[in-house]
Amino acid sequence: MNSRRDFLQKLGISALALHLAAVPGWANGEDHHDKAYDGPVLRVAIMGLGSYGERVANAMQACTKAKLVGVISGTPSKINDWQRKYGIPEKNCYNYENFDGIKNNPGIDAVYVITPNGLHHDEVIRVAKAGKHVICEKPMAVNAQEGQEMVDACNAANVKLLVGYRMHFEPKTLEVIRMRKAGEFGRIKFFQGQCGFTIGDPAQWRLNKKLSGGGSMMDIGIYAINGSRYMIGEDPIWVTAQETKTDPMKFKEGVDETIQFQFGFPGGAVASCLSTYSMNNLDRFFLDGTDGFAEMQPSTGYGPIMGRTHKGELNQPVTVHQTVQMDAMSDIIFNGLQPAVPIDGNEAVKDLKLIDAIYLAAKTGKKVEVRL
């Protein structure tokens, strides 16, 4: 197993076969299934044609409000393959040297940046300066300072900056959030997030500090960080963390193997989380309150999310996460949709501030106060 992509794919290998709906709103009991859409369609170019870019492209074939129309890649053979597979015209194909010219292309509304973390900052700012809306994979940057610079650049260019938080549109996740907001769990006391897998190829970019920005925390750990916030419904006010490294040859300086971290929240809840590149079978969220609980396992994989609460099994429909996400992003950009949990650049900067705090706490052994 070489990457988080493989890990999540293994968890959800039957996702496409089980695709029931590509619309948000299931958690609210809304049924949009039979409603034809005749509004604006978000025309998207994907930057970075790796395995996840391919997954997004495939999922977008079922979108009704978003369409894949362009590509940006440094590999000509990939561009040719995508042109044939997805019917992308030559005028919408760019490489990393010339994609600034996208500013003169009225047939592209947004660029989805799906490249290594360390490249996001410069690429997002270039896209913003070209006047296109930006969608960026998570984590949005390698630290909060870079993330804020990206937010500022998009604000200055008057373009949207959205982040690929696909779980913010997943029906079972939304149902747990709805239950928490309705007070069905009582006062929230505890959250546990476990995210990890055994990473493979030591030469891959995820183990390269310059490209990844770190290790497991900058890959799989973002799910527990963001998940703790939307499950509890508050932002942490302090962080503690402990790092464990058993293979310093594979996980070099600045590339974390395993980090356990804890959050404290203003309402009194605490979170205990784990991010690792050296253990399998970890994809679990648990939320505990005075009046009930929610458990999700798998909690963030690409395929069917499974879960239960004190009231029974969660049975919301299975969706292809990226299809739902892209349709929702179209609504956010064109129709002013306000999702249940934000997916904008400001949301991503909060996660980056927490990542910065986790690394500092692990390095110093001290509790780090945070203000998001």
Q: What is the largest CA-CA distance in the chain?
A: 58
Contact 166, 174 (CB under 8 A): no
pLDDT digits (tens, 9 = 90+) for 41-97: 999 999 999 999 999 999 999 999 999 999 999 999 999 999 999 999 999 999 999
pLDDT digits (tens, 9 = 90+) for 98-108: 999 999 999 99
Q: Work out the pLDDT band at 3, boundaries 50, 70, 90.
A: low
pLDDT on residue 244: 98
pLDDT over 50 at 363, yes or no: yes
State the average pLDDT for the chain.
93
Q: Work out the pLDDT band at 22, boundaries 50, 70, 90.
A: very low
Q: Is 10 a catalytic residue?
A: no
Q: Work out the pLDDT band at 34, boundaries 50, 70, 90.
A: low
* pLDDT (mean) for 286-297: 98
Domains in the chain: boundaries: 4-166, 184-314+345-369
Catalytic one among 65, 138, 160, 172?
Answer: 138
pLDDT digits (tens, 9 = 90+) for 274-283: 999 999 999 9
Contact 245, 215 (CB under 8 A): no
pLDDT on residue 14: 37
Catalytic one among 223, 230, 302, 359?
Answer: 223
Domain 184-314+345-369 classified CATH 3.30.360.10? yes
pLDDT on residue 21: 36
* pLDDT (mean) for 181-210: 98
Q: Is 223 a catalytic residue?
A: yes
pLDDT over 50 at 38, yes or no: yes
pLDDT over 80 at 9, yes or no: no
d(CA 14, CA 228): 27
pLDDT digits (tens, 9 = 90+) for 112-163: 999 999 999 999 999 999 999 999 999 999 999 999 999 999 999 999 999 9
Decide whether 4-166 matches 184-314+345-369 in CATH topology. no
The pLDDT > 90 percentage for the chain reads 90
pLDDT on residue 29: 40
Dig out the tokens for 204 from the structure. 């891959």
pLDDT on residue 251: 98
pLDDT digits (tens, 9 = 90+) for 228-276: 999 999 999 999 999 999 999 999 999 999 999 999 999 999 999 999 9
pLDDT over 90 at 300, yes or no: yes
Question: In what order do the strands lie in the sheet containing 188-198?
Answer: 312-313, 307-309, 293-296, 278-289, 188-198, 270-276, 258-264, 238-244, 368-369
Query: Which residue is listed with tokens 């939307």?
Result: 230
pLDDT on residue 4: 55
pLDDT over 50 at 187, yes or no: yes
pLDDT over 50 at 18, yes or no: no
Give me the count of residues in the chain. Answer: 372
Specify the range with the lowest mean pLDDT, choosing from 22-36, 215-229, 348-362.
Answer: 22-36
Judge if pTM exceeds 0.95: no
At 288 the three-state DSSP class reads strand
d(CA 186, CA 268): 13
Bond before 298 cis per omega within 30 degrees: yes
Range list of β-strands (E), the chain? 42-47, 66-72, 93-94, 110-113, 133-136, 161-163, 188-198, 238-244, 258-264, 270-276, 278-289, 293-296, 307-309, 312-313, 368-369
Q: For 4-166, which CATH class?
A: alpha beta
